[in-house]
């Protein structure tokens, strides 16, 4: 895989509403934080599929004219930052294809762990791939599954794949939603006055006034059509492994996923952190934006007042969306600035959600130092990240994860601060109790619920890409 941090994806779908494409556009707008590289919508008015996708942000890609060309009462959409496959329009989703029974579109959030093996098998049998997406494997398996109606074909395809997937399929007659047996990535179901909606996070429902019904269950396949909703459970049940990183960093704080409100969990992480790593200080400073909720929790628990000592320029893209290392570093500098008056001569506790390579926090701490802080104490609302993710969060290689080869003390020295405290794994688990065993902590423990792909296979896949 690439050596960059990359965001995951967001998916959204509507069935049975005359404004399906417009609502999908709004849904994607709310899910933009899950991927800023490309976006697409496919709609249907019952006879055909209409698609529009481009590189860029949702607001740049869609306007009234484009949306007018997406008619019908059903639609699915996708925002993407590549986790598998490169950064090209041909990899933008939803992916639309024709097979013997007509057209179908697919939108995927997650990462398959056996995609390369399946792809090689399919290619040996004569399949020709149009993209480098692992998602296209599902498309071929779907087309190969014969005979069967759409949902049966979907299920047959899902039985072949391993790893993380929250998926939406759309054809002329129905919308199918599916979540892998471990439920790594979120997927929620909602209701409009007319019709149903399915999406990655509930924040998308709030924007369009949809009522949250429930989460699509791990291992569940939902068929939504004119007759209503039908639920299938084609896989043996296993203990879920929800991605804990959704709570730490990815999901929007106003969303409800995995049985919790994200903001409340994040705030609790800060409370727990204050219990584990108390410090005498004058101010708590959040690193915008992801450090905010934990900083509030830390401040409440410790009694140390919160100050906005770092300000973010909201018109700069997230640093990690820049593909080149050189630009990424530049991005950090233009994104955040310190408020000298809130920092000078103070003992500051700086909160951030995670340390990945260590470059961001190091730069931020230099900025805080230059603003005249008397003491700097860093508190991180997650445990040290020591292992790569293979389930839809694109992580750097293990070697690039600073905590995989450096102790906390070494990292403290590297970022040049007085103290550094990470949240413990036990503390993290306490914040999602009593369901703590239902989460995947592989990025902190290296214990993978689904075997990761072999390193070599992965590398080959990537080399084809560049």
- Is 445 in a helix, a strand, or coil? helix
What are the beta bridge partners of residue 440? Answer: 243
Q: How far is the CB of 251 from ligand AMP (least distance, A)?
A: 12
Judged by CB, which is closer to ligand AMP: 12, or 320?
320
Burial 119-156, CB ≥16 within 10 A → b, else e: beebeeeebeeebbbbbbbbbbbbbebeeeebbebbbb
Q: Does 269 bind ligand AMP (CB under 6 A)?
A: no
Chosen residue from 137, 188, 262, 355 binding ligand AMP by CB under 6 A: 355
Element (H, E) at 329: helix 325-335
Chosen residue from 101, 357, 398, 406 binding ligand AMP by CB under 6 A: 357
Query: Rounded to 5 degrees, what are φ and ψ at 339?
Result: -105, 100
CB-based contact 62:41 (threshold 8 Å): yes
Chosen residue from 180, 215, 246, 352 binding ligand AMP by CB under 6 A: 352
Q: Does 320 bind ligand AMP (CB under 6 A)?
A: yes
Q: Sheet of 196-199: strands edge to edge?
A: 49-55, 38-44, 74-80, 9-15, 196-199, 188-191, 211-215
Judged by CB, which is closer to ligand AMP: 7, or 19?
7
- Binding residues among 378-417 for ligand AMP as defined by CB under 6 A: 393
Q: Does 88 bind ligand AMP (CB under 6 A)?
A: no
Query: Rounded to 5 degrees, what are φ and ψ at 31?
Result: -100, 10
Judged by CB, which is closer to ligand AMP: 44, or 354?
354
- Binding residues among 100-129 for ligand AMP as defined by CB under 6 A: none
Q: Is 9 a catalytic residue?
A: yes
Stretch in the footprint of ligand AMP (CB under 6 A) among 12-20, 207-215, 253-261, 357-365: 357-365
Q: Does 201 bind ligand AMP (CB under 6 A)?
A: no
In whole angstroms, give the CA distance from residue 345 to residue 316: 30
- Binding residues among 3-42 for ligand AMP as defined by CB under 6 A: 5, 7
Element (H, E) at 461: helix 455-465
Chosen residue from 135, 359, 371, 458 binding ligand AMP by CB under 6 A: 359
Stretch in the footprint of ligand AMP (CB under 6 A) among 33-41, 137-145, 160-168, 347-355: 347-355
- Residue 241: which residues within 8 A CB-CB, separation 6 or more? 182, 183, 184, 438, 439, 440, 449
What are the beta bridge partners of residue 229? Answer: 224
Chosen residue from 61, 241, 353, 417 binding ligand AMP by CB under 6 A: 353
- Residue 92: which residues within 8 A CB-CB, separation 6 or more? 37, 38, 39, 40, 53, 54, 55, 78, 80
In whole angstroms, give the CA distance from residue 364 to residue 329: 12
Other C-beta atoms closer than 10 Å to the C-beta of 171 total: 19
Q: How far is the CB of 167 from ligand AMP (least distance, A)?
A: 21
Annotate each residue in 272-301 with x if it binds ligand AMP (CB under 6 A) or - if it does not, as one string.
---------------x--x-----------
Number of residues lying near ligand AMP (CB under 6 A): 17
Chosen residue from 358, 410, 419, 465 binding ligand AMP by CB under 6 A: 358
List 9, 203, 243, 389, catalytic entry: 9
Annotate each residue in 220-249 with x if it binds ligand AMP (CB under 6 A) or - if it does not, as one string.
-----------------------------x
Tally of CA atoms within 13 A in the half-sphere of 22 that contains its CB: 7
- Is 310 in a helix, a strand, or coil? strand
Stretch in the footprint of ligand AMP (CB under 6 A) among 105-113, 340-348, 351-359, 451-459: 351-359
CB-based contact 94:170 (threshold 8 Å): yes
Judged by CB, which is closer to ligand AMP: 111, or 290?
290
- Residue 228: which residues within 8 A CB-CB, separation 6 or more? none
- Is 111 in a helix, a strand, or coil? strand
Judged by CB, which is closer to ligand AMP: 84, or 170?
84
Interface residues with ligand AMP (CB under 6 A) are: 5, 7, 249, 287, 290, 320, 352-361, 393
Residues assigned a catalytic role: 9
């Amino acid at each position: 895989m690439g050596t960059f941090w990359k965001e995951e994806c967001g998916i959204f779908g509507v069935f049975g509403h005359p404004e399906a494409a417009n609502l999908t556009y709004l849904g994607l707008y709310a899910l933009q934080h899950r991927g800023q590289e490309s976006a697409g919508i496919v709609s249907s008015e019952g006879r055909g599929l209409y698609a529009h996708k481009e590189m860029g942000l949702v607001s740049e890609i869609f306007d009234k004219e484009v949306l007018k060309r997406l008619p019908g009462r059903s639609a699915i959409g996708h925002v993407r930052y590549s986790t598998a496959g490169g950064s090209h329009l041909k990899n933008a989703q939803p992916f639309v294809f024709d097979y013997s029974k007509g057209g179908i579109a697919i939108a995927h959030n997650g990462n398959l762990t056996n995609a390369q093996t399946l792809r090689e098998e399919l290619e040996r049998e004569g399949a020709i791939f149009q993209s480098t997406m692992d998602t296209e494997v599902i498309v071929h398996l779907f087309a190969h599954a014969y005979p069967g109606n759409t949902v049966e074909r979907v299920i047959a395809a899902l039985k072949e794949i391993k790893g993380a997937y929250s998926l939406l399929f759309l054809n002329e007659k129905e919308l199918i939603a599916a979540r892998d047996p471990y439920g790594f990535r979120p997927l929620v179901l909602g209701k409009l006055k007319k019709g149903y909606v399915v999406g990655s996070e509930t924040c998308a429902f709030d924007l369009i006034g949809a009522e949250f019904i429930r989460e699509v269950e791990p291992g569940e396949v939902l068929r939504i059509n004119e007759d209503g909703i039908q639920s299938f459970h084609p896989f043996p049940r296993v203990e879920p492994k929800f991605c804990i990183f959704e709570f730490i960093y990815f999901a929007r704080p106003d969303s409800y996923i995995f049985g919790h409100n994200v903001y409340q969990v994040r705030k609790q992480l800060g409370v727990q952190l204050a219990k584990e790593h108390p410090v005498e200080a004058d101010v708590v400073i959040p690193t915008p934006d992801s450090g905010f909720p934990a900083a509030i929790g830390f401040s409440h628990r410790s009694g140390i007042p919160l100050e906005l000592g770092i300000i973010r320029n909201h018109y700069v893209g997230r640093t990690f969306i820049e593909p080149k290392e050189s630009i990424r570093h530049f991005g950090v500098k233009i994104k955040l600035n310190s408020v000298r008056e809130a920092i000078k001569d103070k003992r500051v506790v700086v909160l951030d959600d995670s340390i990945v390579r260590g470059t961001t926090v190091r730069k931020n701490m230099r900025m805080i130092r230059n603003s005249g802080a008397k003491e700097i104490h860093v508190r991180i609302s997650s445990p040290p990240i020591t292992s790569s993710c293979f389930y839809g969060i694109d992580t750097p290689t293990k070697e690039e994860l600073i905590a995989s080869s450096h102790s906390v003390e070494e990292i403290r020295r590297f970022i040049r601060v007085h103290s550094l405290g990470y949240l413990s794994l036990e503390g993290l688990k306490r914040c999602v109790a009593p369901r703590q065993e239902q989460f995947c902590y592989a990025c902190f423990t290296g214990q993978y619920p689904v075997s990761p792909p072999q390193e070599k296979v992965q590398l080959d896949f990537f080399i084809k890409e560049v």
